[in-house]
Amino acid sequence: MNAAGTMRNALTFDVEEYFQVSAFEKQISPSDWDKWPSRVEATTNGLLDLLAQFNVKATFFTLGYIAQNHPMLVRRIVSDGHELGCHGMQHVRISEQTQVEFREDISRAKQILEDCVGTAIQGYRAASFSINRANFWAFKEMEEAGFIYSSSIYPVQRDLYGIPDAPRVPFNPHESNPGFIEIPISTTRIIGRNYPVGGGGFFRLYPYSFSKFLVRRVNNAEKMKVNMYFHPWEFDPEQPRIENLPAKTKFRHYLNLTRSIERMKRLLSDFSWSSMNDVYAEEIGLS
């Protein structure tokens, strides 16, 4: 059902519960997670059904916490032919961790995911794209933990994340290991500034026609692959509402949740998509 395209793009999902997002960390602590109804299994299974309908494979960067609590979901991701990646243990931003804490976090999460599905995990994505110039040491830790690529940098300027002058194409972030690469979230360059293309909240904010224009611009005008990300909770308008949120946080999280599924169907139909380890096989060194 996919439209034939001249370029195949990477479709990714960061698998976490709606109550685990970084923006809610002041309202909901990990000690209170079990007080909130889980929604991740139903929403992710819905997405897996949708991807099967369109015969599309994707990469699911998944928390170790999710594998512990929903092992059958994680096994379905792999059995359906998708790539399983690591998203850390409990969605803690690297900027809030020491180097030792980060090392322990990713090693534990990777082991839990691998034990769950019986296959090696090759890719990692930081919670909230929390790689910055001060914590590039994280790449060395990823390499030593056994990852061969990361997708943790968004080359934009945002209040909570972003390295606007980072490369917009896959690059080696650590010269000691030229085989390890970072695959940034996609942007487009307009009048000397990077604009987000990579999905998430921007996909819900933009009219679909504008998202389609941006993907086409990156593919056709810039001759680059697109690396897009989403979260299962972004396709769940029935999720419980968190009270006493700042206005900006409330707007960002709940905007256009009712429109996400139909927009995703159009995205899957209008472009060609696959997993990170397929789309970037040559860059990662898998081809």
Q: Note the pLDDT of residue 1.
A: 41
Per-domain boundaries in the chain: 8-284
pLDDT at 4 over 60: no
pLDDT at 5 over 80: no
pLDDT in tens, 124-135: 999 999 999 899
| CATH architecture group of domain 8-284 | Alpha-Beta Barrel (3.20)
Segment 60-70 mean pLDDT: 98
Q: Note the pLDDT of residue 174.
A: 76
Segment 174-182 mean pLDDT: 79
Segment 59-69 mean pLDDT: 98
pLDDT at 169 over 80: yes
Segment 24-37 mean pLDDT: 93
pLDDT in tens, 254-268: 999 999 999 999 999
pLDDT band at 2 (very low <50, low <70, confident <90, very high): very low
State the burial class of residue 145 (Cβ atoms within 10 Å of its Cβ: 0-12, 13-18, 19+). buried
pLDDT at 164 over 50: yes
Tokens (6 digits) for 160 = 């909570």
Q: Note the pLDDT of residue 26.
A: 87
pLDDT at 74 over 80: yes
State the burial class of residue 46 (Cβ atoms within 10 Å of its Cβ: 0-12, 13-18, 19+). middle
Helix, strand, coil distribution of the chain in percent, nearest 5: 45, 15, 40
Is 60 in contact with 80 (CB distance < 8 Å)?
Answer: no
Share of the chain above pLDDT 90, in %: 84
pLDDT band at 176 (very low <50, low <70, confident <90, very high): low
Mean pLDDT of the chain: 93
pLDDT band at 160 (very low <50, low <70, confident <90, very high): low
Q: Note the pLDDT of residue 177.
A: 67
Q: pTM for this structure?
A: 0.95
Q: Which residue has the higher pLDDT, 110 or 3?
A: 110
Segment 48-67 mean pLDDT: 98
